[in-house]
Amino acid sequence: MTSGYEAVIGLEVHAQLLTESKAFCACPTTYGAQPNVNVCPICLGHPGALPVLNENLVRFAVTMGLATKCSIRTVSQFSRKNYFYADLPKGYQISQYQDPICYDGRVDIEIDGVGKSIGITRIHMEEDSGKSIHDLDVDTLVDLNRSGVALIEIVSEPDIRTGPEASAYLQQIRQTLVYLGICDGNLEEGSMRCDANISVRKTGAKEFGTKVEVKNLNSFRNVEKAIEFEIVRQIEVLEAGGTIIQETKMWDAGKQQTKTMRTKEMAHDYRYFPEPDLRNVVVNGEWLESIRASLPELGLAKKHRFIAAYALPAYDAQILVDDVALAAYYEATCASLSQQTPDAFKSVSNWIMTEVLRIMGDRKCTISEVGLSAAQLASLVDAVQSGAISNKIAKDIFPVLVGTVRMADEIVSERGLKQESDEGALQVMVDEVLKANPDNVAKYKSGKDNLFGFFVGQVLKASGGSANPSVVQALMKRALKN
Ligand SMILES: [Zn+2]
């Protein structure tokens, strides 16, 4: 049904910055404080109160700009965006309009290994509004703690074509913000908010269709669903001979559909004009270069390095780099291994992706709260790699290590879990098993090959699980040939 059309999608992402104080006053930005506690005459918009620019707002905006390959404007200015709302006591929001601080960048995304570049039109600095609380069984309440909190708005080019692309782009933006340490990236708590502009046009057409804005998409899943819904809806309207109305909609996750909030105000309704109480923002070259020099390695680069340096599959690398602390933990574990082999590197990844992530999911905790140091995990992988214990025994030891400072080899010797790899001792067990099962030996020799597993199993059982399976297999193979 969507054939013959293509969607044109641009995303606007608001990111709440991790500055300690607000954008233009000294009020703290702590989340979850009592309502209307973190306020002062400046962020309450009292007449005559003058804003003072927070240097870290500029620093973080420039940091994000450099990380997304934007050009950085040497001189930019703040403007007033005028509108009336109960949670906006000044009657305007300080934002940037013409000449934003960052412009003309790009973000690289990957979907199933296929790369694509999404252009960044601009990144500008602004302050947040307060919060209206409607969902109580009383009149609407207003909390102004958020009023004046520092934000950047990241506006993409209309380069996105599908819901999954939008989701991948948003994830890349989120990961970059978190890697840079400038936003906690929490969509559910609203420290990142996403609006999507969506239109459709006949494939190959040059003109854009009429766009619809869908506001406040608060999860990657909702971004994808809302866009896919809106694409199908718009095509259906056009196919039925209708026209698309420019409007602002909301995603109703319960009903899985978009619903109209209002028909779109045009940008000039905000009556932007330069903010007279703030001077121009000047970014000098030396300061810019010091920020550039302090940029960390970002997610996609780290992913590619993990694939190259540790011979990891792209799938593993992606999961590890999604969490910057987990990626660091992975590298610390690999560095602690006594045998630095691709096998051991993959084994570390396996442990993290199964047991470690399971604990983090169950306890909803971070890697540093799991209670297993990189050296401890490395000691467990070492014990398996050296043949001292089997993977099965390692699985039993793993929970014993968690929450302690003990190493795997201590547990192995304390509990007598060392794997038996001595050929002489294992040969005795192999001989005994064959002697005790003459009928099955005869059947095997007459062609019942699948009995091989039975013989090996009998030896492992007789050893109480301590026999090294690969040594047993080799010995058994040789014994049955005779
Ligand atoms: Zn304040």
DSSP letters for 400-420:
HHTTS---HHHHHHHTT---B
Distance 42 CA to ligand 1 centre (A): 5
Angle at 89 between CA 282 and CA 23, to 5 degrees: 30
pTM metric for this prediction: 0.82
Query: How far is the centre of ligand 1, averaged over its atoms, from the C-alpha of 29 (Å)?
Result: 9
Q: How far is the CA of 270 from the centre of ligand 1 (A)?
A: 24
Q: How far is the CA of 287 from the centre of ligand 1 (A)?
A: 27
Q: Mutual orientation of helices 469-481 and 451-462 as an angle, nearest 10°?
A: 130
**How far away, in angstroms, is 39 Cα from ligand 1 center?**
4
| pLDDT at residue 140, as a whole number | 85
- For residues 191 and 183, is the Cβ–Cβ distance under 8 A? yes
Query: Could you say which DSSP state residue 367 is in?
Result: G
What the block records as the tokens of 394 is 């390692």
- 52 C-alpha to center of ligand 1: Å? 10
Cα separation of 132 and 8, whole Å?
32
**DSSP assignment of 108-158, as one string?**
EEEETTEEEEEEEEEEEEEE---EEE--SSSS-EEE-TTTT-EEEEEEE-S
How close is the Cα of 54 to the center of ligand 1, in Å? 12
Ligand 1 centroid to residue 150 C-alpha, Å: 11
Q: Say what the pLDDT of residue 265 is.
A: 55
Query: Dihedrals φ, ψ of 4, to 5°?
Result: 90, -10
Give residue 231 CA to ligand 1 midpoint distance, Å: 42
Residue 294 CA to residue 210 CA, distance in Å, equals 42
Residue segments in the chain with a per-residue pLDDT below the cut of 70: 1-2, 136, 264-268
User: Strand, helix or coil at 273?
Assistant: strand
Show the CA angle centred on residue 229, arms to residues 228 and 231, nearest 5°: 65
- The DSSP call for residue 262 is E
Percentage above 90 pLDDT, the chain = 75
Whole-angstrom distance, CA of residue 34 vs CA of residue 103: 37
CB 16 within 8 A of CB 56: no
